């Protein structure tokens, strides 16, 4: 059974309420940053709610992929995904968990990944799929058949489109063509590699997000009948829907930081009194 419009709206509202609570109720220097990140991820649920509305009008994959509103909201969703690593690690940059020098390089990598991703998925003219008649000619300079060459990429397809899958929304989008400057693992690298630059708790937090994200999403889609290469497209959109797990990790992280901060101050005061 696919997630519904109502469920997407519900999670979006919960995310915004949680962000507002973090911003208003926590007197901590990183609260505002955490609230912005939570709100950013909650916006994805409203984007997917809009995609449900488009599919409610026309769910036929053959005709819905030609709709401008379908293509528009798919592009918005992909653009949102492109900047998710940047937003997440900007939050950790503000928290001061990892040295500023390391995270500056990480943020630059995240920004480069986002620009390459957006160009490759949405605006790259070299990925425009030609008609069957055009493909019979010898001029294939501006063609890359992602349906045949997608390999293990989750979202790669011939069209910029959202359809309804077995477990969730299924995104299809042309990807950046593999090259010396850009390759498949870069997006996952900027998501999870920075967690290895801090202490053991920071690494455990990254592992938690990895299990909540791609690991659980793959299992969830497969458990509902998604077994072939086409069904893998649902993993990316499912992970975005499961980002309430990111909310939980960031929320727990914030509580733990405040607890440690207060405990440290209390211990310092006690040591000062003894002296």
Under a CB-based contact definition with an 8 Å cutoff, are residues 157 and 233 in contact?
yes
Residue 11 domain flag: no
* pLDDT for res 97: 67
* pLDDT for res 132: 43
When divided into structural domains, the chain yields a total of 1
Cα radius of gyration (the chain): 21
Residue 251 domain flag: yes
Residue 268 domain flag: yes
Distances 36 to 30, 148, 249 between C-alpha atoms, Å: 10, 40, 15
Residue 114 domain flag: yes
* pLDDT for res 1: 38
Q: Which domain holds residue 105?
A: 60-274
* pLDDT for res 36: 87
* pLDDT for res 69: 92
Summarize pLDDT for 224-258 with one digit per residue, the tens. Answer: 877 666 667 788 888 777 777 777 877 777 777 77
Q: How far apart are the C-alpha atoms of 156 and 131, rounded to whole Å?
A: 18
Residue 248 domain flag: yes
* pLDDT for res 73: 93
Residue 46 domain flag: no
Residue 3 domain flag: no
* pLDDT for res 134: 43
Per DSSP, helices labelled H in 122-243 are 132-135, 146-149, 186-192, 200-210, 216-223, 233-241
Residue 43 domain flag: no
* pLDDT for res 13: 92
Low-confidence ranges of the chain (pLDDT < 50): 1, 129-136
């Amino acid at each position: 059974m696919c997630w519904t419009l109502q469920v997407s709206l519900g999670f979006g509202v919960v995310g915004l309420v949680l962000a507002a609570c973090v911003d208003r109720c926590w007197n901590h220097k990183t609260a505002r940053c955490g609230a912005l990140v939570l709100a950013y991820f909650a916006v994805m649920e409203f984007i997917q709610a809009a995609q449900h509305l488009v599919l409610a009008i026309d769910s036929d994959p053959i005709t819905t992929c030609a709709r401008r509103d379908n293509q528009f909201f798919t592009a918005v969703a992909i653009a949102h995904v492109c900047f998710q690593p940047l937003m997440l690690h900007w939050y950790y940059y503000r928290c001061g968990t990892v040295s500023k020098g390391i995270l500056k390089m990480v943020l630059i990598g995240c920004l480069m990944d986002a620009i390459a991703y957006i160009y490759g998925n949405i605006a790259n003219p070299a990925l425009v799929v030609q008609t069957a008649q055009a493909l019979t000619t010898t001029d294939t300079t501006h063609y890359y058949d992602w349906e045949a060459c997608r390999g293990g990429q989750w979202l790669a397809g011939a069209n910029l489109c959202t359809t309804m899958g077995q477990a969730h929304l299924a995104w299809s989008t042309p990807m950046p063509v593999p090259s010396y400057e850009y390759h498949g693992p870069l997006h996952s690298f900027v998501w999870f590699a920075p967690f290895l630059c801090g202490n053991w708790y920071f690494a455990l937090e990254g592992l938690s997000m990895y299990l909540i994200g791609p690991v659980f999403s793959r299992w969830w889609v497969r458990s509902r009948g998604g077994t072939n290469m086409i069904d893998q497209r649902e993993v990316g959109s499912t992970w975005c829907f499961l980002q309430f797990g990111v909310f939980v990790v960031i929320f727990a992280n914030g509580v733990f930081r405040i607890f440690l901060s207060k405990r440290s101050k209390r211990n310092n005061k006690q040591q000062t009194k003894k002296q």
